Amino acid sequence: MRTVGYDLHLHSCLSPCGDMDMTPCNIAGMAHLNELGIVALTDHNSVDNCPAFFKACEEYGIVPIAGMELTTAEDIHLLCVFETLDDALAFGAEVKTHRMRIKNRREIFGDQAILNERDEQIGEDPYFLPAATDLDLESAAALVEAFHGVCWPAHIDRDANGLLAVLGTFPPEPVFRIAELRDRENRKLAEGRTVVVCSDAHRLWEIGEAGGTLTLETDDTAPEAVRHELFQKLREGKL
């Protein structure tokens, strides 16, 4: 058994609210300096920087997780993570069909840069990423499950885009076994669910400010083995 640090909520420069220094290589390097062993990249409504992030993490021995912070039709932020990069990319392609085609105004919201494993820009998403999709909460959760992922509501103790601020309470469906908080002191809001506190980093110096530790039973350090055990725990809500 061994213990590893994790952060399951970070944004790259693909998210318009993310600093342009939040490149895949920089994120991996800063995560390494902060002794994080498992890190999820969760840009707004996109997974397009996850392939480069996976490559960057290889250099530092970090287990990468491909994910997304999806905005539902109710304007709730939902953290979605996937055991394999292929599943995440397929999910991302499907989500693109549910996004609003609102042009991103770079001068107001910032760039939405797609990078390769050398942090070179290879593209840009032209449409404003954080805008709500047409997927309601139940449909979004079902879509995540269809692509073998796990999801939970993000920052439920925040007014903006928090599930409790929007709905007032947890709905009977979908069933969430995990809830993310910004402040661990607000754990009562999770109503007995497993609490995850992550950095929601948009700038390099925010990485490592919050997160947790995970006890792994496997001695296998291969990313696939670590991800498999992590996702077993996530599906059971026992992180």
- d(CA 118, CA 120) in angstroms, rounded, equals 5
Type of residue found at 22: M
**pLDDT band for position 62 (50/70/90)?**
very high
What's the pLDDT tens digit per position in 164-184? 999 999 999 999 999 999 999
CA pair distance 204, 98, nearest whole angstrom: 30
Taking the mean position of all CA atoms in its chain, how far away is CA 68?
4
Q: What pLDDT, on the 0 to 100 scale, is given for residue 89? A: 98
Decide: pTM greater than 0.85: yes
> Given this model, what pLDDT does residue 223 score?
93
Reported confidence tier of residue 221, pLDDT bands at 50, 70, 90: confident
Mean pLDDT of 110-137: 97
- Which domain does 207 fall in, by range? 2-236
User: In this structure, what CATH number is given to the domain that contains residue 36?
Assistant: 3.20.20.140
pLDDT of residue 1: 79
How many domains would you assign to the chain?
1
Mean pLDDT lowest among 41-45, 51-55, 183-187, 215-219:
215-219
Answer yes or no: is pLDDT of 218 > 90: no
The residues, ordered by sequence, that sit 6+ positions from 159 with a Cβ below 8 Å of its Cβ are 165
